[in-house]
Amino acid sequence: MTRPDGRAADQLRPITITRNWQAYAEGSALIEFGETKVLCAASVTQGVPRWRKGSGLGWVTAEYSMLPRATLTRNDRESVRGKIGGRTHEISRLIGRSLRASIDLAALGENSIAIDCDVIQADGGTRTAAITGAYVALADAVSWLQSKGALAKPDPLINSVAAVSVGVIDGEPRLDLMYEEDVRAETDMNVVVTGQGEFIEVQGTAEGVPFRRDELDALLDLALAGCADLTSLQHKALA
């Protein structure tokens, strides 16, 4: 049983994080998990949505999208179709929830941060790459706010957040699936973890065959180890 790119079952693909990839954003990062490339940009605006005004709390949202030719064959644009698909909605919500778990919204004050995650190339794991890269963009946007004197103490960033996909292929639990593995996985799980190794989100799905408790446990072990590595890469990038 070898993986398509020869990696060990518990090994991440080569990860690179390039900060400040879009010049105008308050924070931005191009993150690569092997051939998967996601551009994450954080945009700061003063004020919060109407339903939140006067609360003293900030707000963080995310939007996920794919360029039409990020994939092997071209996908129609959602703007052209006139509506956003269920998968896009679902992933945007997941990224937003995950990032909000990293931040103290009271310490952010009535500021909003919108994170755009645009997939430039998709080879599996785009949503987990997006979360991992979005955290870097978010951290830079928070620093930008601090450098402007817009935030009082304490630091709103309370956790770092990283995410990875894991899955069972031919009975073997594997870390960080590429597309070719993803489509063959019996079970597919996305796990979002804090820098302290606690869970923010666990989403496991049986593709065809239900999975047992021990398989779930093995996948969680892999994911925790993978996220620990991603966390240190994030810290290195932000250093």
- Is 58 assigned to a binding site? no
Of the candidate spans 48-56, 67-75, 142-150, 225-233, the one that interacts with a copy of itself by CB under 8 A turns out to be 67-75
124: closest CA among 238, 213, 36, 32?
A: 36
> By CB under 8 A, what part of segment 34-63 binds a copy of itself?
35, 39, 41, 43, 45, 63
Contact between 74 and a copy of itself per CB under 8 A:
yes
Sign of CA dihedral 143, 195, 18, 236: positive
Residue with structure tokens 């909000």? 100
Answer for which of 15, 17, 70, 166 binds a copy of itself (CB under 8 A) is 70
Radius of gyration of the chain (CA): 18
Answer for which of 57, 84, 218, 233 binds a copy of itself (CB under 8 A) is 84
Task: CB nearer to a copy of itself: give 8 or 219.
Answer: 219
- The DSSP code for 171 is T
Of the candidate spans 3-11, 50-58, 110-118, 225-233, the one that interacts with a copy of itself by CB under 8 A turns out to be 110-118
8 Å CB contact between 9 and 18: no
Of the candidate spans 6-14, 125-133, 143-151, 200-208, the one that interacts with a copy of itself by CB under 8 A turns out to be 200-208
Report the SS3 class of residue 138.
helix
For the bound state, the minimum distance from the C-beta of residue 171 to a copy of itself, rounded and expressed in Å, comes to 14
Buried b / exposed e across 120-158, counting CB within 10 Å, b at 16+? ebbbbbbbbbbbbbbbbbbbbbbbbbeeeeebeeeebbe
Contact between 211 and a copy of itself per CB under 8 A:
yes
Token pair for 136: 């870097």
Footprint on this chain of a copy of itself (rule: CB under 8 A):
22-25, 28, 35, 39, 41, 43, 45, 63, 65, 67-74, 77-90, 92-93, 97, 101, 114, 116, 118, 120-121, 159, 189, 194, 196, 198-206, 208, 210-213, 216, 220, 224
